Chains A and B, each alone.
Chain A
Amino acid sequence: MADLKYLFFLGCAIPYRLPSYEVSSRKVLQKLGVELVEMPEFNCCGFPLDPVNHDMMLTLAARNLYLAEQQNLEVMTLCNGCFGILNHVNKELKADKNVREKVNDYLREIGMEAKGTAVVKHLIHVLANDVGFEKIKAAATNQLDKLRVVQHSGCHVNRPKEYIGLEDPENPTILKKLIEATGAKCLNYLDEPECCGAPILGVNEQIPLQLTREKLGHVKAVGAQAMITVCPYCHIMYDLNQPRIERAFNEKYGIPVLHYPQLLGMSMGIPPEELALGDLRVNAAEVASICSQ
């Protein structure tokens, strides 16, 4: 089988805040024989502009999609926000002639035209559907069967359902199965699909922090040793903001939050240092030591 190859869409939040997600993803994908092609001309996916100007969002997203169409490669994102927007706009460009014409009227001014023929995937889709569970299980030689974790898929990898439809947003299972492939036990908890609140952090801090606090409480209640995310924004809420929540509400959670490729990497025998586990705000040394047992 020919090796898998994708156009890598990095987005903004990861280079800004979370190189650990990128480091671990690249490491794991390389070991699984997935090649990432860099695209130097990519810009912001467009998501932050949707609330302020829908047309501008469409156009900026379509510019990225045009570049992908030219490369004739499928796009892979690590960020739920980038995936949600690029996938949505791509499908709208293909299905809706009015949208396509409007957007291309703008894009033609810079010598581009997007047709909506790109394919946009999130890391978890690439792992689950393209690499496949069999190959992942075979690579996960260091089964993490002493570890109990929970998943948090996030919203934009599944909603709106109409535009994605790869799993049930009320009961997402792709990440759960990917976690189980590492040998770790994936526990159920209350309100699993609930939003982290990150998108309104710039407007109101109190609501997202309360949402995050509530989820951390549900995660703690089932005795999980770690939480697994696949989106930089969710990760910022649960990891970076966890100490802040502990201070604000005078509570203690101490729940390490790992990017899924960090967990997968440890099950593949990659040393924690190479997966940037030390970059996490909530100390994950205990998780790493359970994984190395």
Chain B
Amino acid sequence: MSKLTKAEEEAQKNETVLRTTELDPKFKYEISKLPGAEKVNVCFQCGTCTADCPIARFDDFYRPRKLIRMTQLGLKERLLSDDVIWLCSTCFTCIDHCPQDVGIASIVRALRNLTVAHGHMPAGYVAQVSNILKTGYAYIISDMRLKKRQQKGLPPPPKANLKNIAKLFDITGFSKALEKVET
């Protein structure tokens, strides 16, 4: 093995060493109040979720078991700033296979929701949210596509009630959370 430079050594140390000052012991209780994340503390780290996760097979960093352990330990800052939580494809295999019925994918969702509440949201989601507000759909269906539908003999797609949607964004507090999101 080649010798590590000082900077590399430092980086490795930062990655592997867990500092107790970094841990937020209340985090596991905070997260377990969110819907779907109630059972975060019954995970006994068997690793079935990671073994059966299709994403984990193709990514070196996405490990559901590790995310749950980090949550239990209270590594809040690391979790909420780590883009890896956005890699879950919500296939729900982990939910179906977990022997403790922990609901892994729902905990990942809770971590994502919390990250958004802290002002970070991936660009792809920013676009979809804005489309839903503008049109009621996750995508903007162009006039050309609408015309093509007509030519194929299809009826116009449902026209959502945009006033309703805007109001729901406001009263659920989602509009306010969106204002905090850095784009």
Contacts and interface: CB of A to CB of B under 8 A. Distances in A.
Contact of A56 (B121, B145, B174): B174
B46 interface: no
Interface string A153-182: 001100111100000010000000000000
Contact of A55 (B122, B132, B164, B172): B172
A155 B160 contact: no
Given A48-B125, A110-B164, A199-B90, A12 B34 contact: no
Interface string B89-133: 111110110000000000001101100100001111101110010
Contact of B168 (A12, A47, A48, A56): A56
Nearest to A50: B109
Interface string B146-183: 00110011110111110011011101111001000000
A44 B159 CA distance: 10
Given A51-B125, A54-B35, A110-B168, A194 B158 contact: no
B158 A42 contact: yes
Nearest to A200: B89
Interface string A103-133: 0001101100000000000000000000000
A199 B95 CA distance: 17
What range describes how many residues of A lie at the interface? Answer: 35 or more
Given A13-B139, A110-B164, A202 B128 contact: yes
A197 B153 CA distance: 32
A206 to B, nearest CB: 8
B109 A159 contact: no
A269 B149 CA distance: 24
B148 A19 contact: yes
Contact of B89 (A99, A206, A208): A208
Nearest to A159: B92
Interface of B is mostly: helix
A59 B113 CA distance: 15
What range describes how many residues of B lie at the interface? Answer: 35 or more
A206 B57 CA distance: 12
A10 B157 contact: yes
Contacts of B148: 19
B138 interface: yes
A195 B158 contact: no
A52 B139 contact: no
B73 to A, nearest CB: 23
Contacts of B121: 52
B180 to A, nearest CB: 12
Contacts of B149: 15, 19
A56 B169 CA distance: 7
A43 B165 contact: yes
Contacts of B122: 202-203
A52 B137 contact: no
Nearest to A36: B155
A22 interface: yes
A59 B168 contact: yes
8 contacts: A12-B137, A44-B137, A48-B132, A52-B121, A106-B168, A169-B96, A197-B89, A203-B87
Interface of B: 34-36, 54-55, 58-59, 83, 86-93, 95-96, 109-110, 112-113, 116, 121-125, 127-129, 132, 136-139, 141, 145, 148-149, 152-155, 157-161, 164-165, 167-169, 171-174, 177
Given A15-B145, A22-B154, A55-B174, 12 more contacts: A13-B138, A43-B136, A44-B137, A48-B129, A49-B132, A55-B172, A107-B168, A110-B164, A156-B92, A160-B95, A201-B124, A203-B124
